[in-house]
Structure 1
């Protein structure tokens, strides 16, 4: 029997493609403290995988007296500033796997809840043509954990969502992938993904290639 490749692989960004969660946490803490509040690691973990507007509302609840859009813009600017100063830390194995997918002709999309301008800036830092599509949180009406971002990405790529693999590191992102109908791969980073419904959980992408993605897809779409 011929093992078929997925028609597309859909990637989350923060925590999956790049290790940006520490940058977001470093942006949140001084913002909350500037309004006299406190913000600890456990609170920051609650925002992992949330849409930025939902995260902004949580920060408002912690005392940040800014409107939601202003909070989103402030955090995005701060994270981009940090990356400009400290560099973009890619997750182990992510770039290597992307290169293999592209070489094999598999379509790829970046499906993130970060703003489109931030995602586009990160993609520009890659030294190869990594994605057919970049979809930001401001490109869809409903954020993760709703399935809309993944469904929209499949639509724009002109593929059936059932013939895609989605890679996620957070519970909310994984819920979006699962409910969309994609073959869902969880690669946990800051928070665990047990019981969220992934087709498979891998501890890392390091050492994984197109053959592993194809086997995952084949096992759950045969």
Structure 2
């Protein structure tokens, strides 16, 4: 684990690294993704309902496009739907990127304590770059987008890749997520997970999954305890 940096309360155990999801976790873009999917679904004459949430929230563009193709019966190809979804979402993110409450404060405390962080997103690289332009690139030692691993969330690949690039065992890393899809990905990689839901969707259960209402409630001490509590 990192040594305690100047300004860190004495005795604080620091996490080895913290791996952050992006949409809905650090920035309030999950609602923009839902809007993009919902608008396209309306055009396909098959409005989204709460039953569609698992196929939209936290999912990659291609996954949601395949879902809309399947449930709408449209003649448009999955590739065309994915392209339209991606364009719509990118436009919304470019126009409105708002950090989640407590996100930048937590990132600042990790930077000051010299704890390495990674951004682990299921969004396309161009959307990740738009968000980084808005909130700053220097928060993260590593950034991963949907294109950067063979499989994206809920597969463990993104979190495994982030830990590998940081030179760490995933078991000592803490992942911060907001959707069941992301929690499943991080858990499958072996990370401890801090889940801060952006919607009312129920989270998976697990010995190393901790639930908070907001990142404003998270601090170095909590993240350190989660990272130290390895599964046996």
Q: Which residue of 2 aligns with 1:171?
A: 180
DSSP-derived class of the 1:206 partner: helix
TM-score (ref. length: structure 1): 0.89
Matches within 5 A, 1:127-206: 127=136, 129-190=138-199, 191-195=201-205, 198-206=208-216
Instruction: Give 1:83's aligned residue.
Output: 93
Deviations 1:65-119, CA, capped at 9 Å, x for gaps: 433343333222212222333x212211111101111111111111111001111
Alpha-carbon contact 2:61-2:86 (below 8 Å) kept: no
Query: Per-residue displacement from partner, 1:132-169 (whole Å, max 9, x unpaired)?
Result: 11101111111211111100111112211111100111
Runs of 5+ consecutive residues of structure 2 not aligned to the other structure = 1-10
SS of residue in 2 equivalent to 1:125: helix
Residue 202 of structure 1 and its aligned partner are, at CA, apart by 1.1
Displacement after TM superposition at 1:26 (Å) = 1.4
Please name the residue that 1:40 is paired with.
48
Question: Cα gap change, 1:106/1:66 in structure 2, threshold over 3 Å: closer, same or farther?
Answer: farther
**CA distance 1:95–1:3, shift in 2 (3 Å):** closer
* Residue-by-residue CA offset, 1:29-61 (whole Å, 9 max, x unaligned): 2222323x2222414422112222111100111
Q: Alpha carbons of 1:26 and 1:110: their partners in 2 closer, same or farther (altered >3 Å)? A: same
Query: Secondary structure at the residue paired with 2:105?
Result: helix
- Structure 1 segments unaligned to the other structure (5+ residues): none
Residue 30 of structure 2 is aligned to residue 21 of structure 1: yes
Q: 1:69 to 1:98 in 2, by over 3 A?
A: farther
What value does the CA root-mean-square deviation take over the aligned residues?
2.1
CA contact (8 A) 1:116 1:136 kept: yes
